[in-house]
């Protein structure tokens, strides 16, 4: 229970359906004064815990706060820092779902003899007896669908997860909360990454990466054009992502965008908007859900980021758990570190992390 309306209504629906419900809020934020701001009201903050406690009291269910600080730091925050240091752009919510909510928390729940972990995600889980596999499907409310951030889940995880909001819209969820008299019924959604409360990546990353480099200044380097001409200086490769236009500090005859980030030679390559379009990508660490493995080319729809429209493509198996994705139409700003997720209609086939 994050203290928001979605997890609160998920608990409400389960209670109404006769489940023996226990509310759990994960304590995952770091102890830094900057991050542990009492005025920050985002997911899993101090204020969010109080909201979750009030909802649990209203529902007459027990509520506990469990400390997952250490594993969250290791699996999510440290990975976030390392990925940016390598010039990639990660999605920490995906790793949180994989390793924390449906990893460490699910493990703890099973230790306590709970049969399921339930959350307020807008997605659906169903068992297909014909192929004997658990399936992950898009939420009915496509505008809120969160299947993209759940693609790394395993069959073992999926069979112990309940997603009560999968067939509901956000409007319906808020109405249920109002009828139940929950104080969070009209609470605004948190848009920030939970461990960056002011959404300022640069402010967060600078001391973290400096620490990894022995408290040295982060290396600046050249910004170069597509033809190799040095036209500016960057502040450190960790502070740039594919498709970025702002913050380049370059005056040029046409708008320029980050086309590639190269940590090995400490350069940023920029070019016009048309240089951002690519017809294919390579993804690794691929996880399959609706199939056991990919042994031949497969036609599917592919999303290259959370809010991106799914585009028709062909997925080809490669060695070492990698795939090549060839798009029917060139895609803008394919970004290493983000995930490519494959769909067959509403069904998630699987997905992997974009390498290039």
Residue 252 sits in the same domain as residue 300: no
> What average pLDDT does the segment 111-133 reach?
97
Residue 33 sits in the same domain as residue 167: yes
pLDDT tens per residue, range 73-92: 999 999 999 999 999 999 99
96 catalytic per annotation: yes
Residue 307 sits in the same domain as residue 346: yes
Dihedral of alpha carbons 342, 343, 344, 350, sign: positive
Residue 250 sits in the same domain as residue 101: no
Range of the domain at 236: 219-271
26 is in an annotated binding site: yes
Indicate the number of domains in the chain: 3
Q: Is the pLDDT of residue 176 over 60?
A: yes
Whether 210 is in a domain gets the answer: no
| pLDDT at residue number 24 | 96
Whether 197 is in a domain gets the answer: no
Buried b (16+ CB within 10 A) or exposed e, 230-258: eebebbbbbbbbbebeeebeeeeeeebbb
Averaged pLDDT score across all residues of the chain: 92
Residue 288 sits in the same domain as residue 326: yes
Give the residue from 271, 286, 309 where a domain finishes: 271
Nearest Cα residue to 191 out of 56, 41, 11, 292: 41
Whether 291 is in a domain gets the answer: yes
Cβ distance 64 to 112 under 8 Å?
A: no
Q: Is the pLDDT of residue 43 over 70?
A: no
Buried b (16+ CB within 10 A) or exposed e, 197-213: beeebeebbbebbeeee
87 is in an annotated binding site: no
Cβ distance 336 to 86 under 8 Å?
A: no
In the set 43, 44, 93, 194, the catalytic residue is 194
Confidence grade of residue 219 (pLDDT, cut at 50, 70, 90): confident
Q: Is the pLDDT of residue 338 over 60?
A: yes
Residue 281 sits in the same domain as residue 256: no
Least confident of 16-20, 164-168, 217-221, 294-298: 217-221
Tell how many helices (H) and how many strands (E) occur in the chain.
9, 16
Residue 91 sits in the same domain as residue 111: yes
Whether 39 is in a domain gets the answer: yes
Q: Is the pLDDT of residue 222 over 60?
A: yes
> What average pLDDT does the segment 45-70 reach?
92
Structure pTM?
0.92
Q: Is the pLDDT of residue 125 over 50?
A: yes
Give bridge partners of residue 45 from the DSSP assignment: none
> What average pLDDT does the segment 93-112 reach?
96
Give bridge partners of residue 268 from the DSSP assignment: 223, 261
| pLDDT at residue number 215 | 47
């Amino acid at each position: 229970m994050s203290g928001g309306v979605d997890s609160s209504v998920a608990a409400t629906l389960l209670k109404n359906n006769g489940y023996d419900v226990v509310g759990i809020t994960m304590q995952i934020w770091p102890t830094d004064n900057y991050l542990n701001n009492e005025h920050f009201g985002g997911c899993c903050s101090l204020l969010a815990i109080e909201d979750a406690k009030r909802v649990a009291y209203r529902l007459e269910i027990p509520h506990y706060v469990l400390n997952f600080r250490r594993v969250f730091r290791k699996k999510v925050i440290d990975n976030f820092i390392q990925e940016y240091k390598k010039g990639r752009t990660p999605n920490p919510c995906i790793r949180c779902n994989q390793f924390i909510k449906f990893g460490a928390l699910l493990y703890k729940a099973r230790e306590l003899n709970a049969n399921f972990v339930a959350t307020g995600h807008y997605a659906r889980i169903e068992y297909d007896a014909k192929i004997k596999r658990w399936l992950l499907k898009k939420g009915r409310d496509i505008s809120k669908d969160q299947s993209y951030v759940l693609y790394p889940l395993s069959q073992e995880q999926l069979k112990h997860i309940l997603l009560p909001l999968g067939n509901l819209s956000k409007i319906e969820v808020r109405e249920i909360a109002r009828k139940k008299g929950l104080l969070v019924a009209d609470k605004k959604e948190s848009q920030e990454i939970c461990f960056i409360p002011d959404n300022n990546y640069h402010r967060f990353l600078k001391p973290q990466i400096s620490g990894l480099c022995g408290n040295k200044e982060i290396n600046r380097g050249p910004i170069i054009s597509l033809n190799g001409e040095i036209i500016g200086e960057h502040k450190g490769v960790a502070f740039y992502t594919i498709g970025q236009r702002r913050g380049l500090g370059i005056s040029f005859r046409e708008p320029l965008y980050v086309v590639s980030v190269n940590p090995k030679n400490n350069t940023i390559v920029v070019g016009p908007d048309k240089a951002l379009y690519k017809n294919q990508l390579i993804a690794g660490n691929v996880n399959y859900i609706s199939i056991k493995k990919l042994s031949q080319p497969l036609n599917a729809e592919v999303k290259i980021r959370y809010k991106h429209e799914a585009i028709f493509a062909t997925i080809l198996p490669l060695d070492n758990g990698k795939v090549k994705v060839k798009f029917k139409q060139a895609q803008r700003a394919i970004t290493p570190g983000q995930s490519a997720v494959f769909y067959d209609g509403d069904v998630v086939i699987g997905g992997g992390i974009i390498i290039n």
